[in-house]
Structure 1
Amino acid sequence: MTSQTQTSKVAIVTGASGGIGAAIAERLARDGFTVVVNYAGNAAPAEALVARIEAAGGRAVTAQADISNADAVRRMFDSAETAFGGVDVLINNAGIMNLATIAESDDALFDRQIAVNLKGTFNTLREAAKRLRDGGRIVNFSSSVVGMLQPGYGVYAATKAAVEAMTSILAKELRGRNITVNAVAPGPTATKLFLDGKPQEVIDRLAKLAPLERLGQPEDSAATVAFLVGPDGAWINGQTLRANGGII
């Protein structure tokens, strides 16, 4: 049974309409959080997710916002505060990945990943730093490519390395408010973002990289987030957890 204290908490999950974000939203709803399901453009998957959560006895609402737009992020926080009285948890899951060597990366590839992965995370962190209720939790999403440093991931890995830096710095800046700030860095995970465009032999090879010899599942990342925002994660702060099955 979920405690009354936890059931009153409100969590914004960015990029929550599919993949890891949807798994996080469903897990937090099961754990008793009211979940704000953020999506950028396509409302249908987000609305379907909210329907599933509510059918299972949880509480959730959709919130359209392109996180690269600071005004849209501000409005999303405004709406959550109006509807629920405040926000306790921010999960920065939204992100995009476009791969190319550094030599072949054009300006559009660079600018879009910076806009969503880095500026978007900054936009939500800035609002959360001002507005999260004391005792809250922030979980950013990095990637294990920051440690693996594979060719073709230069721009993407750079955005995620910057997210890790901001994670540790914001944890220190929020001293005195009992708010933890951490990051989760998944390895290869069986999501549309990861699987699209990859031949099966490549997927099979990547699945064997971790000593546990499988791809991560969205639920693996969701369980890590649930730990960090739950009572057992209260002493973890300013850290990046590489939830990747031991790949690095």
Structure 2
Amino acid sequence: MPQRPLTPTGLHLGLEGVHVLVTGASGGIGYETAEQFHDNNDIVEQGAIVTAHYNTNFAPLDKFAESRSQVVQADLSKEDEVAAMFDKATYTFGPVQILIINHAISVVKDEYIWEMSLDRWKTTMDANLTSTFLVAREYLRRLKNVAADLREEASIVLIGSTAGKYGEAGHADYAASKSAMMYGLTMTLKNEIVKLAPMGRVNCIGPGWVKTPMATESLKNPHTLYAALATTPLKKIAKPTDIATQILVLSSNSLSGHITGQVLMIEGGMEGRLLNEPEDVGINLHSRQLNLD
């Protein structure tokens, strides 16, 4: 295999020309991930081929309709649409080598489990967990027929959540769906992928609060912000790039070729106990709105 060019830091990620599928790519983390895989920049040149998935919100992905990337729409809770997504991805750029399972929904309304309807539970499980099963299954089914040299890059990164580790009162549906992905599914898939691709790897990232467009509005509430930072030593909210860069690192065989079955928590050191009083993180709980800039 020809030696890949080094980055200015002396490292290469080995992602040039590798076909990556990112689900849920129109959201904050997904969009940043797709962009970083695709872009060549002054620090690290990735140059991956990106298929960016969305379900309902196309607008942020307009720039990805370019020669080395494409955008596909699919409801990932439906088997036929998952298959059609992979068909389109493969027809345009060849087999998907790296799969980033990022899509998810979270119902905003707090409902304790004794208040939660079966419909809400099933909707969240279908949108988050069942869809993840369908996407991973389709990827692995097709991996069986991929040329051996292309299978060397086989990697799945699932996106979990701190809710999957600590639980989240009022959101048992979301927490349970993420926990199942982070532990039962990730740990099983890392043992199964090697049956098809001996160097294949499966890992998971568990973000805490991230300053995405959706979360930013919630974080303007000082009580919400304090709850997010109260047990976080770094006393700050992550940016999408904090998550996306680690997704790239875990995806790279050059940097992470001996890492599989791991759940990497990216949450500023969050713990399940109180570390910071409001004044320690510079929050006035009597303020109605906060400026996050």
TM-score (norm 2): 0.77
Name 1:201's counterpart in structure 2.
222
Kindly provide the amino acid, as one letter, of the partner of residue 218 in structure 1: P
Matches within 5 A, 1:178-197: 178-197=199-218
- Greater share of helix: 1
Secondary structure (helix, strand or coil) at the match of 1:169 reads: helix
Larger Rg: 2
Q: Does 1:96 align with 2:105?
A: yes
- Per-residue CA deviations over 1:85-123 (Å, capped at 9, x if unaligned) read 211011000001114211121123212111111011001
How far did 1:208 drift?
4.6
Secondary structure (helix, strand or coil) at the match of 1:28 reads: helix
Kindly provide the amino acid, as one letter, of the partner of residue 62 in structure 1: V
Counterpart of 1:153 (choices 171, 184, 189) is 171
1:38/1:63 contact within 8 Å kept: yes
How far did 1:5 drift?
6.3
Taking a change above 3 Å as real, the CA distance of residues 147 and 211 of structure 1, as seen in their structure-2 partners, is same
Taking a change above 3 Å as real, the CA distance of residues 102 and 199 of structure 1, as seen in their structure-2 partners, is farther
Name 1:242's counterpart in structure 2.
265
- Per-residue CA deviations over 1:9-52 (Å, capped at 9, x if unaligned) read 1111001012100010011112111111100022222224x16x
Taking a change above 3 Å as real, the CA distance of residues 144 and 238 of structure 1, as seen in their structure-2 partners, is same
Counterpart of 1:131 (choices 98, 122, 142) is 142
TM-score (norm 1): 0.90
Matches within 5 A, 1:104-123: 104-123=115-134
5+ long unaligned stretches in structure 2: 40-45, 272-293
Matches within 5 A, 1:225-240: 225-230=247-252, 231-240=254-263
How far did 1:158 drift?
0.5
Secondary structure (helix, strand or coil) at the match of 1:63 reads: strand
Kindly provide the amino acid, as one letter, of the partner of residue 11 in structure 1: V
- In 2, the alpha carbon distance for the partners of 1:102 and 1:236 equals 36
Name 2:54's counterpart in structure 1.
39
Taking a change above 3 Å as real, the CA distance of residues 4 and 27 of structure 1, as seen in their structure-2 partners, is closer
- Per-residue CA deviations over 1:147-188 (Å, capped at 9, x if unaligned) read 222311211111011112111101101225111011110011
Secondary structure (helix, strand or coil) at the match of 1:7 reads: coil
Instruction: Quote the sequence identity (%).
Output: 32
How far did 1:235 drift?
1.1
1:208/1:214 contact within 8 Å kept: no
CA RMSD of aligned residues (A): 2.0
- In 2, the alpha carbon distance for the partners of 1:63 and 1:153 equals 30
2:13/2:255 contact within 8 Å kept: no
Q: Does 1:67 align with 2:90?
A: no
Kindly provide the amino acid, as one letter, of the partner of residue 229 in structure 1: S
1:144/1:242 contact within 8 Å kept: yes
Taking a change above 3 Å as real, the CA distance of residues 19 and 148 of structure 1, as seen in their structure-2 partners, is same
5+ long unaligned stretches in structure 1: none
- Per-residue CA deviations over 1:190-242 (Å, capped at 9, x if unaligned) read 11343444552034311453111101111111011010111211111011111
Kindly provide the amino acid, as one letter, of the partner of residue 172 in structure 1: N
Higher mean alpha-carbon deviation, 71-80 vs 169-178, is at 169-178
Kindly provide the amino acid, as one letter, of the partner of residue 10 in structure 1: H
- In 1, the alpha carbon distance for the partners of 2:230 and 2:116 equals 29
Kindly provide the amino acid, as one letter, of the partner of residue 74 in structure 2: A
Secondary structure (helix, strand or coil) at the match of 1:185 reads: strand
- In 2, the alpha carbon distance for the partners of 1:4 and 1:236 equals 14
Aligned length: 242
